């Protein structure tokens, strides 16, 4: 018994191996404590992802609080949170929701839990956290410009799909109007050009009007009978009581015998009561005078035509094109340079015409065919790519500026380009609509969309920008004037949509020869002007305009949508370039995709608006 007691005492006093046991116990604690940092970091990362996801959900779903059931909103928010967390081991719920439709308020809250890795060693198997988010509509003003492709390739189902998608987008954006905040939308339908409608003159400058002709005269007084014409130098004409004075111009006709002086104008060199001489006319080799003949005084030198057109506004040396004159038809369809001009008259020096014909009063018209920096003409005459002269009529459409193109300076400084298209690829009938919150006005304009013409996508992008530029504000009605760039609590967004390659650019308002396939009316492109576009190729222009539009000083957010175009195509690439952010670039394969793309953009705009 005593031996056992001694053994037990010795065992109690023996400390060998104690350190290993203590170290093992402490190691577990130390690992758990060190690993707690890892678990905590993981918790915070997951919480941040969950909070970001819920914020995004609140912003995205707030515009739909009057459309969707509360349960649907909760489920969509929860799905987005789980998607953003991206870890199947994490469980999350959005289980609290509060909707205040009157004030546009959406409140969402929930919680998540996640398994631990290290602190489970000390009995903590999971960690969790709560999160919440709130969005209230109308926290910023919104100005959105829609540059929409209505070219010929959009005909049929595509244009109808565009109408539907655009109306839904407009409806979603305008839902944000409340109180002192506003949301407004501008429309820029585009094809070969952009139709400025009633704003054309303010944007591209005045157009000289087509003028009508009231009279064409060349003589004055009554004809005098000729009784003789001498074969001498100078020829002497006998006409009793002629009344002509030295340096008067006269016109002789119907002489028999000395026909060399018929149908010609002469200056009177000398005179007496019954005869006068013809300045510089040597009649010694002429035929003998036989009988008859008459002479009448001319209105101006050389018996040129004197055209009467009240307040015509043209000047000596201007070139004018004449049409539809009756009686005296020699001037029709000709470009003629006018002589001495007064307020109501001008001459046509050196232009032959049949003086025996009588002009039919108030018939015919005339107009100029040039343009400059300050004004244009009703028609523009130019050499096509083969050097042949072509004449196109002006429209209310507008094109790119030929000078200072890559900015948004006011039209009062530099007018935008005019448009003189071939009628086969003319001005689209759908005009721009400046910023408005009138849904009916916008819907009516969209419903009227008609597919026609080639694709000046660069011009669409440019005018999408111009509609939001405060520098253009003075052109529009007061309620449609854009706010200054970077104004506090303001969002400006441009949406550019196209269904095809950019193929049309202009020189002096005419489709330029460096436009590509799809821009020409004729197989040989004879409707193209014989010069390249002032501002480069279609895609070079588009990129330059987008660079300027995306400049930091504008604060504009650009969204782009390609409808039925291939990824990697030139059109897709330039749309991606203009959007800058990949999340703002959409490719829609069909009508359903187009609606989805437009709705996603509308939600994005609403989210940005709420986050201002």
> Which residue range is the domain that position 57 belongs to?
18-136
Q: What is the C-alpha separation between 184 and 587, in angstroms, rounded?
A: 25
338: pLDDT strictly greater than 80: yes
132 and 145 belong to one structural domain: no
Average pLDDT for the chain: 90
pLDDT tens profile 488-507: 889 999 999 999 999 999 99
Across the range 210-237, mean pLDDT stands at 97
End-of-domain residue from the set 107, 136, 165: 136
Would you say residue 316 lies in a domain? Answer: no
DSSP string for residues in 114-170: EE-SSGGGGT--EEEEEEEEEEES-SSEEEEEEEEE--GGGTTHHHHHHHHHHHHHH
89 and 149 belong to one structural domain: no
Q: Which residues contact 598 (CB under 8 A, 6 or more apart)?
A: 165, 166, 168, 169, 495, 561
274: pLDDT strictly greater than 90: yes
101 and 224 belong to one structural domain: no
77 and 116 belong to one structural domain: yes
pLDDT tens profile 57-108: 787 787 778 888 889 989 888 888 888 788 888 888 999 999 888 777 889 9
Per DSSP bridges, beta strands 490-498 and 556-563 are parallel
| CATH code, 267 | 2.40.30.180
In this prediction, residue 247 carries a pLDDT of 97
In this prediction, residue 120 carries a pLDDT of 74
Tokens 């009344």 found at? 243
pLDDT tens profile 6-26: 544 554 555 555 444 544 555
pLDDT confidence band for 550 (50 / 70 / 90): very high
pLDDT tens profile 555-608: 999 999 999 999 999 999 999 999 999 999 999 999 999 999 999 998 888 776
Q: How many domains does the chain have?
A: 3
Would you say residue 309 lies in a domain? Answer: no
36: pLDDT strictly greater than 70: no
Would you say residue 5 lies in a domain? Answer: no
167 and 268 belong to one structural domain: no
Would you say residue 285 lies in a domain? Answer: yes
Q: What is the C-alpha separation between 235 and 260, in angstroms, rounded?
A: 11
Q: Where are the beta strands (DSSP E) in 456-582?
A: 490-498, 506-507, 510-511, 556-563
Would you say residue 318 lies in a domain? Answer: no
In this prediction, residue 49 carries a pLDDT of 78
pLDDT confidence band for 119 (50 / 70 / 90): low
Would you say residue 23 lies in a domain? Answer: yes
35: pLDDT strictly greater than 60: no
Report the range of poorest mean pLDDT among 81-90, 308-317, 350-359, 596-605.
81-90
End-of-domain residue from the set 96, 118, 136: 136
609: pLDDT strictly greater than 90: no
pLDDT confidence band for 612 (50 / 70 / 90): very low
Report the range of poorest mean pLDDT among 107-116, 242-251, 325-334.
107-116
254: pLDDT strictly greater than 70: yes
In this prediction, residue 610 carries a pLDDT of 58
Task: Please report the sign of the dihedral spanned by the C-alpha atoms of residue 368, residue 371, residue 372, residue 374.
Answer: positive
114 and 149 belong to one structural domain: no
In this prediction, residue 297 carries a pLDDT of 98
Q: Where are the beta strands (DSSP E) in 389-517?
A: 389-393, 397-399, 417-418, 433-436, 490-498, 506-507, 510-511
498 and 538 belong to one structural domain: yes
Q: Is the distance from CB of 434 to CB of 186 less than 8 angstroms?
A: yes
pLDDT tens profile 435-494: 999 999 999 999 999 999 999 999 999 999 999 999 999 999 999 999 999 998 899 999
Would you say residue 447 lies in a domain? Answer: yes
pLDDT tens profile 399-433: 999 988 999 999 999 999 999 999 999 999 999 99
In this prediction, residue 23 carries a pLDDT of 45
Across the range 367-383, mean pLDDT stands at 97
Could you count the other beta carbons within 10 Å of the beta carbon of residue 550? Answer: 18
Q: What is the C-alpha separation between 132 and 153, in angstroms, rounded?
A: 48
pLDDT tens profile 384-405: 999 999 999 999 999 999 988 9
147 and 123 belong to one structural domain: no
46 and 100 belong to one structural domain: yes
pTM, 2 dp? 0.78
252 and 115 belong to one structural domain: no
End-of-domain residue from the set 280, 303, 326: 303
Report in angstroms the alpha-carbon separations of 328 from 16, 305, 312, 340, 367. Answer: 135, 10, 20, 20, 18
In this prediction, residue 133 carries a pLDDT of 84
250: pLDDT strictly greater than 90: yes
Would you say residue 328 lies in a domain? Answer: no
Q: What is the C-alpha separation between 423 and 392, in angstroms, rounded?
A: 8
45 and 154 belong to one structural domain: no
444 and 535 belong to one structural domain: yes
In this prediction, residue 175 carries a pLDDT of 78
pLDDT confidence band for 4 (50 / 70 / 90): very low
In this prediction, residue 264 carries a pLDDT of 97
Report the range of poorest mean pLDDT among 54-63, 168-177, 286-295.
54-63
pLDDT confidence band for 204 (50 / 70 / 90): very high
In this prediction, residue 13 carries a pLDDT of 56
Phi–psi pair at 596, nearest 5 degrees: -60, -40
12 DSSP assignment: H
């Amino acid at each position: 018994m005593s031996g056992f007691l001694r053994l037990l005492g010795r065992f109690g006093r023996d400390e060998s191996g104690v350190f290993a046991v203590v170290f093992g116990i402490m190691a577990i604690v130390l690992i758990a404590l060190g690993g707690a940092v890892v678990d905590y970091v993981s918790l915070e990362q997951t919480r941040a992802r969950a909070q970001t996801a819920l914020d995004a959900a609140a912003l995205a779903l707030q515009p739909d609080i009057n459309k969707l059931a509360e349960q649907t909103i909760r489920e969509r928010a929860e799905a987005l949170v789980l998607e953003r967390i991206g870890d199947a081991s994490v469980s999350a719920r959005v289980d609290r929701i509060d909707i205040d439709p009157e004030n546009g308020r959406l409140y969402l809250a929930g919680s998540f839990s996640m398994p631990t890795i290290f602190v489970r060693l000390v009995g903590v198997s999971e960690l969790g956290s709560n999160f919440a988010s709130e969005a209230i509509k109308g926290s910023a003003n919104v100005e959105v410009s829609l540059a929409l492709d209505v070219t010929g390739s959009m005909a049929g189902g595509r244009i109808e799909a565009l109408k539907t998608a655009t109306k839904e987008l407009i409806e979603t954006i305008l839902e944000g109007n409340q109180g002192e905040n506003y949301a407004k939308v501008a429309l820029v339908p585009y094809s070969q050009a952009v139709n400025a409608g009633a704003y054309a003159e303010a944007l591209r400058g005045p157009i000289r009007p087509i003028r009508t002709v009231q009279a064409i005269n060349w003589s004055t007084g009554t004809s005098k009978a000729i009784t003789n014409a001498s074969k001498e130098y100078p020829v002497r004409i006998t006409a009793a009581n002629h009344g002509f004075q030295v340096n008067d111009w006269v016109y002789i006709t119907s002489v028999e015998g000395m026909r060399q002086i018929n149908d010609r104008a002469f200056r009177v060199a000398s005179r007496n009561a019954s005869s006068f001489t013809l300045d510089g006319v040597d009649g010694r080799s002429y035929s003998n005078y036989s009988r008859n003949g008459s002479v009448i005084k001319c209105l101006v030198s050389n018996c040129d035509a004197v055209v009467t057109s009240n307040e015509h506004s043209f000047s000596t040396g201007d070139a004018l094109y004449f049409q539809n004159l009756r009686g005296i038809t020699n001037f029709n369809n000709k470009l003629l340079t006018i002589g001495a001009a007064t307020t109501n008259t001008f001459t046509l020096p050196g232009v032959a015409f049949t003086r025996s014909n009588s002009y039919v009063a108030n018939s015919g018209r005339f107009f100029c065919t040039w343009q400059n920096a300050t004004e244009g003409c009703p028609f523009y005459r130019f050499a096509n790519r083969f050097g042949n002269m072509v004449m196109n009529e002006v429209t209310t459409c507008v094109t790119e500026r030929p000078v200072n193109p890559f900015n948004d300076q006011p039209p009062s400084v530099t007018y935008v380009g005019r448009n003189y298209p071939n009628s086969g690829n003319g001005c689209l009938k759908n005009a721009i609509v400046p910023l408005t919150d009138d849904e009916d006005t916008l819907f009516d304009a969209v419903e009227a969309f008609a597919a026609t013409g080639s694709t000046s996508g660069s011009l669409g992008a440019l005018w999408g920008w111009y509609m939001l530029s405060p520098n253009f504000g003075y052109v529009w009605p007061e309620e449609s004037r854009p706010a200054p760039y970077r104004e506090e609590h303001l969002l400006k967004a441009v949406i550019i949509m196209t269904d095809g390659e950019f193929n049309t650019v202009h020189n002096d308002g005419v489709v330029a020869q460096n436009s590509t396939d799809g821009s020409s009316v004729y197989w040989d492109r004879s409707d193209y002007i014989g010069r390249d576009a002032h501002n480069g190729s279609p895609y070079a222009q588009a990129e330059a305009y987008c660079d300027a539009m995306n400049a930091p000083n504008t604060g504009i957010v650009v969204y782009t949508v390609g409808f039925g175009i291939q990824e990697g195509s030139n059109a897709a690439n330039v749309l991606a370039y203009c959007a800058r952010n990949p999340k703002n670039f959409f490719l829609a394969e069909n009508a359903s995709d187009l609606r989805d793309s437009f709705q996603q953009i509308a939600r994005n705009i609403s989210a940005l608006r709420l986050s201002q």
